[in-house]
Amino acid sequence: MPKLLRKDRVKIPVGKYRAVSRRNYRLFKEDYDNWKQICSSAKGSSWGQKRAKYSLFEHVQKQGITPRIMENSGPATDEGGNAILTQIDKIFTTKDYSEEQLALLKGLLEYMNNVKGGNIDDANPSDIMFTDKVRWTKQGKVTREKPVYGHYATAKYAGYRNKFKGDNVKAVSSDWYSYNKGEAKPPMWQALYGDGTVLGKNTKSLHVIIKEAIDNFDELDLRFDKSTPIPIEGQGSADLALEIAEIKNMFNAMVRDEEFTTAAGNFSTTKAQTVIRNQEIDLQNRREVNAIKRIDKELGGIPNDIDSIFITMSRRQMLNMAKKVGWERYRDKFMAKRGKKKDE
C-alpha cells in the first residue's frame, strides 16, 4: 500500500478509534477562501444596504446562520454565525479533526438542508418578508401595501422614497425580491444557498462547499491507527477475522513456526501477542471490510472503506484462532527436539 505523504495525511476520529487518510483539503480551502473573499469584498451598497458599514460576509456572520445549530453540534456560545464560521475556518485548514468539528459540519449541513427545503420558518433569506408600498395618492399617502420577499429595495419602494421622502434610493435587481415566497435570490441567499455566483462573481455557495466537504469525508479510505486496535471478541468474531487473508496467513505462519510452541508444548500466546500487536492488516476487498464491520458493529454505520487496521485479542482468543487454522499440541515432538538440542 502506498505510504501517505505527510502533507496529505489528515487525522479523523471514527467513534472510539483513530484513523488517518489522504484528503484534498487544499481544494476545499480554495473553495471556501474564494467564497469568503467575494463575500468580504461586497460592501453594503453592493448588496442593497447603502447605510451598512459591514460586508456581506459580516452580515452572514451576524444573521445568516442561526445560533440554534450550536446547541447540538458545537461549543456552547451565543455568538451565533460568527462562532460557526470560525469553526468552519478551522475545519477547512486543519489536518487533525475532532469529533466535535465533524459533528458541527454535519449538523450545519442538516440545518441548511432543512432551511433550503422550507422546513424551518423564516430562516431562508429568500423568504424574509418585507412590506412594499405599491399604491399611494398624489400627496404620498400609502393606500395599498403587499408582502415582498428577499429584499425591501424594490422598484416601488425606491420610487416612493425618492419622490416623497427626498431620498436617492436605487432599486436592487428584480431577481433579489419577489412577491411570491421562495422565488427571490437576494445576496444573502446567493452566499448561503446560491447556484454558483454571488453578486455576479463565480463561487460555490457555503451550502455546496459544506456538502462537498462531508461527501469527501464519507468517501475517504481509512487507515486505523495502531494506538486504537480493533478487538477481535464476541461470538463468531474469530471466524469472521479468519475471513481476512492477512489475519489467516499470520496465524498459519505462527502455527507452522516451532518458535510459537512453548517447551510445554503449548501455543505461545506471549509471542503471538507481540506479532499481532505490531502487524498492520491490509484489507484487500469489500468482503474483508464487511467482516471487520460485522466484528465491531459500531463500524457498520460508517460509509467509508477501510484500507488497514490493527487488531487485539485475548490470549484465549489467540489459542482459539490458532486451533481453527490447525494448531495441535506438539508436546512429544517438541520435547524430543528439545532433548536432542541438549545432547548436542
Q: How far apart are CA 189 and CA 128, in angstroms?
A: 10
- Cell representation of residue 181: 415566497
* pLDDT recorded at residue 21: 83
CB 130 within 8 A of CB 108: no
Q: Which of 59-63, 74-78, 313-317, 328-332 has the lowest mean pLDDT?
A: 74-78
Place of cell 505462519: 253
Instruction: Report if pTM > 0.75.
Output: no
Of 161, 182, 292, 163, nearest in space to 237 by CA: 292
CA dihedral (121, 125, 129, 133) in degrees, to 10, reads -170
* pLDDT recorded at residue 15: 87
Confidence of residue 333 (pLDDT cuts 50, 70, 90): low
Three-state secondary structure call for residue 176: helix
CB 118 within 8 A of CB 177: no
- Cell representation of residue 201: 462573481
What does the buried/exposed string (b/e) look like for 6-25 if buried means 16 or more CB atoms within 10 Å of the residue's CB? Answer: eeeebebbbeebebbbbbeb
* pLDDT recorded at residue 170: 92
**With 60 as the cut, is the pLDDT of residue 332 above it?**
no
CB 267 within 8 A of CB 338: no
**With 70 as the cut, is the pLDDT of residue 1 above it?**
no
What residue ranges do the domains of the chain occupy? 24-121+202-219, 129-185, 224-343
Q: Burial of 134 by CB count in 10 Å (0-12 exposed, 13-18 middle, 19+ buried)?
A: middle
DSSP state, 284?
-
Q: Who wins on pLDDT, 344 or 246?
A: 246
Place of cell 469553526: 87
**Cβ contacts of 249 within 8 Å, gap of 6 or more:** none
* pLDDT recorded at residue 44: 87
Q: Who wins on pLDDT, 232 or 104?
A: 232
Q: How many CB atoms lie within 10 A of CB 227?
A: 8
Q: How far apart are CA 19 and CA 284, in angstroms?
A: 18
Q: Which of 70-74, 140-144, 202-206, 298-302 has the lowest mean pLDDT?
A: 70-74
Compute the average pLDDT of residues 250-258.
Answer: 95
pLDDT tens-digit map of 210-231: 998 888 877 778 999 999 999 9
Place of cell 423564516: 122
**With 80 as the cut, is the pLDDT of residue 339 above it?**
no
Of 325, 319, 314, 311, nearest in space to 262 by CA: 319
- The pLDDT > 90 percentage for the chain reads 57
CB 209 within 8 A of CB 31: yes
**With 60 as the cut, is the pLDDT of residue 335 above it?**
no
Compute the average pLDDT of residues 80-101.
Answer: 69
Compute the average pLDDT of residues 48-59.
Answer: 88
CA dihedral (201, 203, 207, 208) in degrees, to 10, reads 140
pLDDT tens-digit map of 264-312: 889 999 999 999 999 999 999 999 999 999 999 989 888 888 999 999 9
Task: Write down the mean pLDDT value for the chain.
Answer: 84
* pLDDT recorded at residue 299: 92
254, amino acid identity: M
* pLDDT recorded at residue 149: 95
Q: In the chain, which residue ranges form alpha helices assigned H by DSSP? A: 25-41, 56-59, 68-73, 81-91, 99-116, 155-164, 187-193, 206-219, 237-241, 245-256, 269-278, 286-295, 315-324, 331-343
Compute the average pLDDT of residues 179-201.
Answer: 95
163, amino acid identity: K
